[in-house]
Amino acid sequence: MKRYSAFAIAREALRGHTGWDRAWARAEPKAAYDVIIVGAGGHGLATAYYLGRNHGIRNVAILEKGWLGGGNTGRNTTIIRSNYLQDPSAAIYEKSRSLYETLSQELNYNVMFSPRGVMMLAQTHHEVRGYQRTAHANALQGVATEFIAPAKVKELCPIINIDGPRYPVLGALWQPRGGTARHDAVAWGYARACSDMGMHVLQKTEVTGVRSENGQVTGVETNRGFIGCGKLGIVVAGHSGVLADMAGFRLPIESVALQALVSEPIKPCMDVVVMANTVHGYMSQSDKGEMVIGGGADGYNNYTQRGSFHHIEETVRALIETFPMISRLKMLRQWGGIVDMTGDRSPIISKTPLGGCFINCGWGTGGFKAIPGSGWAMAELMVKGASPLADDFSLGRFREGRFIDESVAAGVAH
């Protein structure tokens, strides 16, 4: 793989950009692989990458029924933070955030990580107490956050209205090293690195069945024929229940659509990420100038990837009180992603009842921020059978009552 650099850009500019290689190779499926990962989104590609980088396992295929990164990885609002309350959550999200810091250099691919800071507004006295509790928990966990006063909120985000008549800003939980990254670039960077290690990224390869023998997975049926494997990783977000059913077990999840939208581009006016759980919305400004806006998930189970008028109305109406200036903006586009929710709003990274089959799902509304940490943990689990980052997120916690309740931190906004 040729390295990207300023010199390479200059060289290719002089020769009409004729010397660039394909970012990842086209491949035909082999009869069998050591490991098959189903799902070429961020989590699946990161799992494959860390299998190769950390454990030397490179006979790997990543199967994607559509196009690479075309699911939730390309349909989210790119927020990265780790200010969670529970210790297991803070550990995996902080691992992920720290990996994002140097991911561009490691992958030799600019993922446009921007540690611009994330603030979660407290607009009720209940939220003030809750976020102060989280700040104390984060201090014990080694996660750098602080609770800031309204004046500091206004200083960091001048366009915000802190004196709203219904929901005034009483403070915020502030994580200076949180931020955003380019969602497509994260998937493309991991795919390029996986391909360079000799792994096969197989797009338009839909899994139609899971084959097993004596309780052990032996491979998957696809629209391109049977492909054998020693181990199978299911990393398909909102379709996890469908794949689990093929493998012969059920998951405690439900799938719903999460919608978002962007405005027309405007001049820079906001260089932080703001989340407002009370009014049910969050907003940041992209590098192109668009205001990236999102809200809550649909209130009913569905697999749609389209937006709907009632969510635009609900989300924008709620945010206008806190950000009056957005009332004058036009919407550019909207979309939806299929998120998989667990009862405690924490993910599942686990072995399954089928031997050699592993599952990574249940990230709900917060999957993008976890991509590097999730892939690191999933790869370690598949190789060693256990991982310090993943053990608390096993399927067994639902049977044993070991819930990791992040319903406030993960269930409302990102």
pLDDT in tens, 232-241: 999 999 999 9
How many C-beta atoms lie closer than 10 Å to residue 264's C-beta? 12
- The residue-averaged pLDDT of 276-297 equals 89
Asked whether 331 and 360 are in contact (CB, 8 A), the reply is no
Query: In the structure, what pLDDT confidence band is assigned to residue 370 with cuts at 50, 70 and 90?
Result: very high
- The residue-averaged pLDDT of 183-188 equals 96
Query: In the structure, what pLDDT confidence band is assigned to residue 177 with cuts at 50, 70 and 90?
Result: very high
Q: Cα separation of 387 and 390, whole Å? A: 5
Percent of the chain with pLDDT over 70: 98
User: Is residue 228's pLDDT more than 50?
Assistant: yes
Query: Looking at the DSSP assignment, which residues form a beta bridge with residue 79?
Result: 180
**Which residue has better confidence, 312 or 383?**
383
Q: Cα separation of 193 and 200, whole Å? A: 11
pTM, whole model, 2 decimals?
0.95
Going by CATH, does the domain composed of 118-179+255-341 fall within 3.30.9.10? yes
pLDDT of 414 reads 42
Q: Calculate the average pLDDT of the chain.
A: 93
AA letter at 77: T
Percent of the chain with pLDDT over 90: 79
Query: Looking at the DSSP assignment, which residues form a beta bridge with residue 107?
Result: none
Nearest to residue 348, comparing CAs of 240, 264, 249, 248?
Answer: 240
User: Is residue 259's pLDDT more than 60?
Assistant: yes
pLDDT of 281 reads 87
pLDDT of 408 reads 63
Query: CATH homologous superfamily for 25-109+182-252+344-411?
Result: FAD/NAD(P)-binding domain (3.50.50.60)
> Which residue carries 């439900």 as its tokens?
254
**Which residue has better confidence, 32 or 13?**
32
**Domain ranges for the chain:** 25-109+182-252+344-411, 118-179+255-341
| Residues in the chain, total | 414
- Can 25-109+182-252+344-411 and 118-179+255-341 be said to share one CATH topology? no
pLDDT of 271 reads 95
User: Is residue 413's pLDDT more than 50?
Assistant: no
pLDDT in tens, 19-52: 888 889 899 999 999 999 999 999 999 999 999 9
Q: What are phi and psi of 381, to 5 degrees?
A: -65, -45
- The residue-averaged pLDDT of 104-115 equals 96
User: Is residue 131's pLDDT more than 80?
Assistant: yes
pLDDT in tens, 388-406: 999 999 999 999 999 998 8
- Mind giving me the DSSP string for 56-86? ----EEEE-SSSTT-SGGGSS--EE----SS
pLDDT of 130 reads 92
pLDDT in tens, 62-108: 999 999 999 999 989 999 999 999 999 999 999 999 999 999 999 99
User: Is residue 257's pLDDT more than 50?
Assistant: yes
pLDDT of 23 reads 87
